[in-house]
Chains A and B, each alone.
Chain A
Amino acid sequence: MAEEVKQVRKPPDPNSAKYKLGQIAAKAYTDVIEAKARGEKIGWVSSNFPVEIPETLGIPVCYPENQAAAIAARGGGERLCQEAEGDGYSNDICAYARISLAYAKLGSAPEQDMPLPDFVLCCSNICDCMIKWYENLSRELNIPLIMLDIPFNPDYEVSDAEVAYVKGQFLAAIRQMEELTGKKWTEEKFQEVMKNSCRTSRAWLEATSCAKYTPSPFNGFDLLNHMAVMVTARGKAEAADAMETLLKEYQENHETGKSTFRGEEKYRIMFEGIACWPWLRVTSTGLKSRGINMVTTIYADAFGFIYDDFDGMIRAYCKVPNAINLELARDKRVKLCKANSVEGLLVHVNRSCKLWSGFMNEMSRQIGAECDIPVVSFDGDQADPRNFSEAQYDTRVQGLMEIMEARKGGEGA
């Protein structure tokens, strides 16, 4: 979601996926800043809100979660978290929310600016915490809140009752937004957005599935960066182009024996959880220096929004990672582990995310047993740097590596 700060090397190739994706991610902010300057109404939107709605209506929106990740990756997480804590927010609550609520009050942050919203769009398919966060934004900024409730599904399949509930709200949300902005929903535009979204998603799924090759043609940390585009722009034609370029590059890498993972890929793991943005370099180096490639994450599956019609779209949004039960969540991960020859699972126990961490112990036990791989967890946080210990991370990753090595029948086994 946030670009890791890298040393300046040769100028990037404008035809590369990396360049194209970077441009789209940056444009996500500039477009909204320009729209705001023109006097258009702009919104803040939660990341799993159906991007098809604002995209079809042509409403400029930006994403507080991406902003919080960017702020955290650039070192501002602690400052903004403390700002929110100064206002009475407990340091137990989600660090993205603390950063965002602090930003809403301050109106600017040197790490990543974003115009203040005229309305907020919330979707609860990520967590209930999101509802509380957006309620507070709406109240503190005194702006309308449009809430699309997609409940956590305790069952394996999406029920017709859930589809009907979500569909009813979808239609109401579209009407509300039309009234709010004066813009109109057209079927033609929706068809186009749907086509783009499916094209982007398909390319993403195929690109991420290139990890099935050994060695993998990419470093899994790439996915964390490219995700920003999947979140914000998957309904745009440029995003589909960029993702198809990415897929082509990964396939070429495989054919020519190249990879964006530098060094020899000795071990292949799945990483579970949101990235530790404030410690991205440390967490990435801890793996890379040991020849461990994080070949897959649930994000590889999460953005597979492929559907044929309105109801299909609704079902897809009912199946995002945090809205599904343990069994479905487990099976999706087991599939990724098996398809990508994963040898170990590294779990980020994320202090910020109660829902993601709350049944992870049991789920990861089951994944470990089903795939016959070691499971190791570490404590961290998606955006509050104070909830991570470098020494702890390092020891656990080394422990994981040593188990994987012993299982290969390596030294000392």
Chain B
Amino acid sequence: MITLGIDIGSTTSKCVLLEDGNRIAATALVSAGIGTGGAEEAYRRVLTAAGVDEGAVARKMATGYGRKRWPAADGELSELTAHALGCHYLLPGVRTVIDIGGQDAKVISLDGQGRMSGFVMNDKCAAGTGRFLEVMAGILKVEVGELAAMAARARAPAPVSSTCTVFAESEVISQLANGAAREDVVAGICRSVAARVGALARRAGVREPVCMSGGVAANDGVRRALEEVLGVPVTTFPQAQLAGALGAALWAWQTAEHKEMT
């Protein structure tokens, strides 16, 4: 049985095609989120990549902030459960999932059976989210993808402590105006995100193993800073950004009728 999961986020759309609930057949990632054609594009691409047509997909599940606006879905689930399922598949036994997405950061606790037992999310402010990193990258005139490498070259991370994106923006600007190295400022920004998310994680309770999912997981600067803040190893995987879509595909399989017959 082929199931599909789609994660429609604020800035990206992710799609995963799953065979019999245990083999990833194809994935797609499109840099366009809610309110764009991103979801359709990701859907089309994943079908093409796997060489299957629409009719072959038994069940489709949507997640992410755009989950309710994708008409092709057979159902939807929150990105919390989706990330829990996805990460549990990628890293069996994981107890804490830290997902930093475009608009929010979440820390999900899993029980020994891989079920979500609780979660904590950031408050309305964007500091500590992917959006925060984007704004900061914009100020520094670099791509978000370059931040990790820059942070790795830092000598003395510059303090960026404001809790609010707007204030942090002026802090970063004045750091640069005062002659701080761009690498140091980037490292400071990564640490600031890690500090915010680290506090969330402690509120949820940190149980090892800990993994990171979502787009920001690819930023090694933030991941390492999180390890420092929490004092435990934080692992990630190449498909981290797809964990939500994968979770949705797994959910589609688990909730399919007569799945045992396939």
Indicate if the CB atoms of A403 and B123 lie closer than 8 Å. Answer: no
Per-residue CB contact flags for chain A residues 388-413 toward chain B (1 = under 8 Å, else 0) read 01011001101100110011000111
Chain A nearest CB: distance from B213 CB in Å? 15
Chain B nearest CB: distance from A139 CB in Å? 32
- A-chain residues with CB within 8 Å of residue B79 when the two chains form the complex: 395
Indicate if the CB atoms of B78 and A413 lie closer than 8 Å. Answer: no
The answer, yes or no, to whether B251 is at the interface (CB within 8 Å) is yes
Question: Cα distance A375–B203 when bound, in Å?
Answer: 12
Which of B114-122, B172-180, B184-192, B217-225 forms contacts with chain A? B114-122
Sample 30 A-B pairs with CB under 8 A, ordered by A number: A349-B123, A361-B203, A375-B118, A376-B118, A376-B119, A379-B123, A379-B124, A387-B124, A389-B124, A392-B104, A395-B65, A395-B78, A395-B79, A398-B78, A398-B80, A399-B81, A399-B119, A402-B78, A402-B80, A402-B81, A402-B116, A403-B115, A403-B116, A403-B117, A403-B119, A411-B255, A412-B81, A412-B85, A412-B251, A412-B255
Chain A nearest CB: distance from B179 CB in Å? 34
- B-chain residues with CB within 8 Å of residue A361 when the two chains form the complex: 203
Chain A nearest CB: distance from B107 CB in Å? 12
Indicate if the CB atoms of B118 and A374 lie closer than 8 Å. Answer: yes
Question: Cα distance A374–B116 when bound, in Å?
Answer: 10
Contact of B78 among A368, A387, A389, A399 (CB under 8 A): A399
Chain A: interface residue total (CB-CB under 8 A): 23
Given A375-B118, A379-B123, A379-B124, answer yes or no on A399-B80 (Cβ-Cβ < 8 Å).
yes
Chain B: interface residue total (CB-CB under 8 A): 21
Question: Cα distance A255–B12 when bound, in Å?
Answer: 52
- A-chain residues with CB within 8 Å of residue B116 when the two chains form the complex: 399, 402-403, 406
- A-chain residues with CB within 8 Å of residue B254 when the two chains form the complex: 411-412
Per-residue CB contact flags for chain B residues 79-93 toward chain A (1 = under 8 Å, else 0) read 111000100000000
Chain A residues within CB distance 8 Å of chain B? 349, 361, 368, 374-377, 379, 387, 389, 391-392, 395-396, 398-399, 402-403, 406-407, 411-413
Question: Cα distance A413–B255 when bound, in Å?
Answer: 10
Contact of B117 among A374, A389, A395 (CB under 8 A): A374
The answer, yes or no, to whether B150 is at the interface (CB within 8 Å) is no
The number of inter-chain residue pairs (CB within 8 angstroms) is 53
Chain A nearest CB: distance from B121 CB in Å? 7
Chain B nearest CB: distance from A402 CB in Å? 4
- A-chain residues with CB within 8 Å of residue B255 when the two chains form the complex: 411-412
Indicate if the CB atoms of B81 and A392 lie closer than 8 Å. Answer: no
Question: Cα distance A127–B254 when bound, in Å?
Answer: 49
Question: Cα distance A295–B124 when bound, in Å?
Answer: 27
Chain A nearest CB: distance from B199 CB in Å? 11
- B-chain residues with CB within 8 Å of residue A407 when the two chains form the complex: 115
The answer, yes or no, to whether B77 is at the interface (CB within 8 Å) is yes
Indicate if the CB atoms of A402 and B77 lie closer than 8 Å. Answer: yes
Chain A nearest CB: distance from B37 CB in Å? 20
- A-chain residues with CB within 8 Å of residue B203 when the two chains form the complex: 361
Chain B nearest CB: distance from A358 CB in Å? 14
Chain A nearest CB: distance from B12 CB in Å? 16
Chain B nearest CB: distance from A349 CB in Å? 7
- B-chain residues with CB within 8 Å of residue A396 when the two chains form the complex: 121
Given A398-B78, A402-B78, answer yes or no on A391-B115 (Cβ-Cβ < 8 Å).
no
Chain A nearest CB: distance from B203 CB in Å? 6
Q: Which A-chain residue is minimally distant from B205 (CB atoms)?
A: A365
Q: Which of B70-110 contact A (CB under 8 A)?
A: 77-81, 85, 104
Chain A nearest CB: distance from B82 CB in Å? 9
Chain A nearest CB: distance from B253 CB in Å? 9
Q: Which A-chain residue is minimally distant from B203 (CB atoms)?
A: A361
Chain A nearest CB: distance from B22 CB in Å? 15
- A-chain residues with CB within 8 Å of residue B121 when the two chains form the complex: 392, 395-396
Question: Cα distance A411–B121 when bound, in Å?
Answer: 24
Chain A nearest CB: distance from B144 CB in Å? 22
- The 9 A-B residue pairs with the shortest CB-CB distance, nearest first, are A399-B80, A398-B78, A412-B254, A402-B81, A399-B78, A406-B115, A379-B124, A411-B255, A379-B123
- A-chain residues with CB within 8 Å of residue B85 when the two chains form the complex: 412
Question: Cα distance A413–B203 when bound, in Å?
Answer: 25
Q: Which B-chain residue is minimally distant from A373 (CB atoms)?
A: B118
Q: Which A-chain residue is minimally distant from B81 (CB atoms)?
A: A402
Q: Which B-chain residue is minimally distant from A396 (CB atoms)?
A: B121
- A-chain residues with CB within 8 Å of residue B115 when the two chains form the complex: 403, 406-407, 413
Q: Which A-chain residue is minimally distant from B124 (CB atoms)?
A: A379
Question: Cα distance A391–B78 when bound, in Å?
Answer: 11
Q: Which A-chain residue is minimally distant from B123 (CB atoms)?
A: A379
- B-chain residues with CB within 8 Å of residue A411 when the two chains form the complex: 254-255
